[in-house]
Structure 1
């Protein structure tokens, strides 16, 4: 497996981020989001989201992981998103070829560093689909605590893009420092 390089996302990265995000949703959100949405409009939806986010990144942090094959994963945080829960890990996606290689763990740690360096408070949280038990196991193994269950809002506010009434779970960490490794990685990795 080739080495990874990490860097902050730029506006010109929107297409690659959208492609990975759409692929991840197609793999992991089937059964919660409608097949028509996942097989149709999801890529256009993600392109619009990422073009906007990366063009105006104020109050957020997006870190990319790249290898010789291209984008290997990314984490996107909205800093100080919630007065109670802190900064939101709004997205963490890893290319299928990089699953179970430590890429997600390192991206989460780099997101935690952004919280420590740029957020007003240390708390961090995220939402995960109730059906995504692998992701829940990943977050629990990194010290996350499930603190809430609620309904998934439909993408773009369109209820037809959901399949049934899926639920999501809030995982929280009181201090993002819990996501940092004991020894920081080299800056160029």
Structure 2
């Protein structure tokens, strides 16, 4: 653990660290909510390649920030204009993950605070995010930061499963 991490814009060299956090946090948070074989098949290498593409995309509408503690990526968050139909006037917190060893250390708080400030500075008066139904730890975290369920449900159809997600919103003004 140690000192508070620096929150900064992700660079291409962060792709491996982001991928490590991505895979570890998904396996921890979604065990019992997604099939084990899906979680066990997650590949750091594939995630790293995906993150390299995302970070280097020339026309990206979103941004990614990382929590960097002494050169180690311990968390990340992606955000930008809303991607859902009719939501472009809202900001969207697209994903926020801390490494499981960093839960309850302030990494998530630092990331969500930075994202809220950035979205506000981008001119968004409100923002939304999606939480996997049953991910109680994440729901409590977002609730504690003022993100409240608004009753909207989305079914995310994947090849091997359907994920039920609940929308949370927050006023940024």
Q: Normalised by the shorter chain, which TM-score bucket? A: 0.7 to 0.9
Residue in 1 aligned with 2:16? 15
Residue in 2 aligned with 1:138? 141
**In the superposition, relative to structure 1, how do residues 97 and 125 fare at CA in structure 2: closer, same or farther (>3 Å)?**
same
Q: Map 1:1-189; keep pairs closer than 5 Å.
A: 1-3=1-3, 4-56=5-57, 58-68=60-70, 70-82=72-84, 83-84=86-87, 86-118=90-122, 120-147=123-150, 148-154=152-158, 158=159, 160=160, 162=161, 165-175=162-172, 177=173
* Displacement after TM superposition at 1:68 (Å): 3.4
Number of paired residues? 168
- Which segments of 5 or more consecutive residues in structure 1 lack a partner in the other structure? 178-189
TM-score (norm 1): 0.79
Q: Which moved more, 1:77-86 or 1:87-96?
A: 77-86
Distance 1:128 1:80 in 2: 15
TM-score (norm 2): 0.86
Q: Which moved more, 1:11-20 or 1:33-42?
A: 33-42
Contact 1:124 1:173 in 2 (8 A): yes
Contact 1:61 1:79 in 2 (8 A): no
Contact 2:7 2:110 in 1 (8 A): no
- Which segments of 5 or more consecutive residues in structure 2 lack a partner in the other structure? none
* Displacement after TM superposition at 1:53 (Å): 0.9
